[in-house]
Amino acid sequence: MSSIKQPSGSLLTHFASLEDPRTAYLVEHPLLDIVALTICAVICGAETWEAIEAYGQSKSAWLKTFLGLPHGIPSHDTIARVFALLEPTQLQDCFVSWVKSLAELSLGEVVSLDGKSARHSYDQHRGKGAIHMVSAWAGENQLVLGPVKVADKSNEITAIPKLLNLLDVSGCIVTIDAMGAQKAIAKQIIDQGADYLLSLKGNQGNLHEDVEQLFDWARQTDFKNIEHEAYQTIDKGHGRLEIRRYWLLDQVEYLEDAQLWEGLQRVGMMEAERRLEGKPTTTERRYFLTSLDGGVERFADASRGHWGIENKLHWSLDVVFHEDDSRIRKGHAPENMTVMRKIALNLLAKESSKGSQNTKRLKAGWDNDFLIQVLLA
C-alpha cells in the first residue's frame, strides 16, 4: 500500500494487525483496503453498504493512488460480509492504539464513561436485541478513547471494567453515571492511578438516601462546624437563567459501608436551578461519591464535563452520523460500524478548520485534498 502523504504511525498502520476472517484463497480484496475505503466513505457521508460501494466507485481513480485495489472496488455484499465476520475486540484494540497516538491525556483531564444503544441494530428474526456500547470520552481532547460492547443479557457494569483495562487513565478524573457506581469499579479506577466521580441514584441500597440526608442536615444547620467547600456558577441568556450550586463534604465516615469504597474522600451535591420567562422555576439535585481530596471547582468542572459524552459524542453519532437509524444488523457488523463512525468522528474533530461536522463531511466528499487533510489531522 502506498502513502496518502502519510507520516509514519498514521491511521492505517494501527490496523495492520487485524486478522482477516475470510478464507485465504477466496480473498480478492485486501482487508486494509476495505477498512480504508469504509473510513473514507463514512467520513464523506456514507451510511449504508451500498453507499460505501458507490463512494468507492465514484472515487476509484483517486483511491487507487494509495490503496492496492487489485480487483477494483469491492461490492457492497463483500464489504458487508467482511464487517459481519471481523472480530470486534481486535478492531477495538486497534482503535485504542490509534487514539493513543493522537493525543496524550493531561493531568486532571475528565474522562467520561457512558453507554449508548444503536436502536435499529436489533434483529427480530435472529432474536438479537439492539447493541449497546460503552464509550470513553476525553473532554479536553474532545476524542473518543475507546468503545466496548455490552454483552448480551448483561449491562454496563460488566463492560466498564473491560473498557478501563484498555485505557491509560492515570492522573485523570473518571466520571460515570449511577449504573457504574460500584465498589469494584471504584477500586479499579484507583488502582489505575486515577480519581473517580460517581453519580448516585437508588441502585446503591441506602447510600443515596444517606448522602441526601447528610446534605439536608448540613444545609439546615448552614454547614455550622461542618468541613465543606461551596461554589456557584450563573449562566444566563435568551430569557433563561441557570444557577448551579456545588458542595463537597468530608463526613464520609457516617455513610453506610463508606470504608468499602476504595479511595473515597468526599461526597458531593450539585443543585441546578433553572428559571425561564413565563414558566415555573425548576430545581434538580444530584449526588456523588468522589476520591478527589479537595477543590470544589474541580468537582464542578468534572460533573459538568461528564455531560460532554452526551452532548458531543452521543449527539454527534445520532444527529450527524444517524447511528440510531442504521439498519446494519448482521453478525458483528453493527458493533464494528460504530467503531468506524467513531474513527470518522475523531478525525473530523481533530481537523482544525471552521465548520460543523456535517459541513466537513460534505466538503470531504467533494474535495479529495480536504479529505487528506482530515485523514492526517
Residue at 188 is within a domain: yes
Give the domain range for residue 235: 178-300
Average pLDDT of the segment spanning 346-357: 93
**pLDDT for residue 7 is more than 70:** no
Residue at 4 is within a domain: no
Percent of the residues in the chain that have a pLDDT greater than 70, as a whole number:
94
- Cβ(69)–Cβ(60) under 8 Å? yes
Are 186 and 291 part of one and the same domain?
yes
pLDDT for position 10: 75
Beta strands in 250-366 (DSSP E): 266-276, 282-290
Average pLDDT of the segment spanning 115-137: 73
Are 349 and 296 part of one and the same domain?
no
pLDDT digits (tens, 9 = 90+) for 60-106: 999 999 999 999 999 999 999 999 999 999 999 999 999 998 888 88
pLDDT for position 377: 75
Are 182 and 282 part of one and the same domain?
yes
Q: How confident is the model at residue 116 (pLDDT cuts 50, 70, 90)?
A: confident
Are 342 and 283 part of one and the same domain?
no
- Cβ(364)–Cβ(44) under 8 Å? yes
**pLDDT for residue 33 is more than 90:** yes
Distance CA 242, CA 293 (A): 27
User: Which domain-ending residue is among 282, 300, 318?
Assistant: 300
Are 295 and 344 part of one and the same domain?
no
Domain count, the chain: 2
Taking CB atoms within 8 Å and a gap of at least 24, the contacts of 358-366 are: 358/320, 361/43, 361/44, 361/45, 361/320, 362/45, 364/43, 364/44, 365/44, 365/45, 365/55
Q: How confident is the model at residue 6 (pLDDT cuts 50, 70, 90)?
A: very low
Percent of the residues in the chain that have a pLDDT greater than 90, as a whole number:
64
pLDDT for position 154: 67
Supply the DSSP symbol for 153. Answer: T
pLDDT digits (tens, 9 = 90+) for 264-316: 999 999 999 998 887 888 999 999 999 998 789 999 999 998 988 988 999 99
pLDDT for position 59: 96
Angle in degrees, CA 223, 227, 230, rounded to 5: 65
Distance CA 155, CA 332 (A): 18
Cell digits of residue 229: 467547600
- The string of DSSP codes covering 285-298 is EEEEEE---S-HHH
pLDDT for position 43: 97
Are 15 and 61 part of one and the same domain?
yes
pLDDT for position 128: 60
- Cβ(109)–Cβ(169) under 8 Å? no
pLDDT for position 240: 85
Residue at 134 is within a domain: no
Distance CA 185, CA 113 (A): 12
Residue at 48 is within a domain: yes
- The string of DSSP codes covering 208-243 is HHHHHHHHHHHHHTTTTT--EEEEEEEEEETTEEEE
Average pLDDT of the segment spanning 197-213: 86
Distance CA 78, CA 4 (A): 24
Q: How confident is the model at residue 117 (pLDDT cuts 50, 70, 90)?
A: confident
Q: How confident is the model at residue 179 (pLDDT cuts 50, 70, 90)?
A: confident
**pLDDT for residue 2 is more than 80:** no
- Average pLDDT of every residue of the chain: 89
Residue at 132 is within a domain: no
pLDDT for position 34: 97
Alpha carbon 267 to chain centroid, angstroms: 25
Are 254 and 333 part of one and the same domain?
no
Sign of CA dihedral 297, 303, 307, 313: positive
Are 186 and 295 part of one and the same domain?
yes
Q: How confident is the model at residue 127 (pLDDT cuts 50, 70, 90)?
A: low
* 3-state SS, residue 156: helix
Which run of H or E residues covers position 55?
A: helix 49-58
Are 196 and 282 part of one and the same domain?
yes
User: Which domain-ending residue is among 283, 300, 317?
Assistant: 300
Are 295 and 365 part of one and the same domain?
no
Residue at 104 is within a domain: no
Residue that the C-alpha cell 479529505 belongs to: 371
* 108 or 190: which leads in pLDDT: 190
Residue that the C-alpha cell 457504574 belongs to: 180
Are 188 and 294 part of one and the same domain?
yes
Work out the number of other CB atoms within 10 angstroms of the CB of residue 112: 25
Distance CA 274, CA 269 (A): 16
Are 364 and 265 part of one and the same domain?
no
For residue 77, give Cα distances in angstroms to 60, 73, 122.
Answer: 18, 11, 20
User: Which domain-ending residue is among 255, 284, 300?
Assistant: 300
Residue at 166 is within a domain: no
pLDDT for position 257: 82
Q: What is the pTM of this model?
A: 0.89
Residue at 142 is within a domain: no
Q: Choose the weakest-confidence range: 9-18, 47-56, 112-121, 300-309.
A: 112-121
- Cβ(313)–Cβ(320) under 8 Å? no
Q: How confident is the model at residue 122 (pLDDT cuts 50, 70, 90)?
A: low
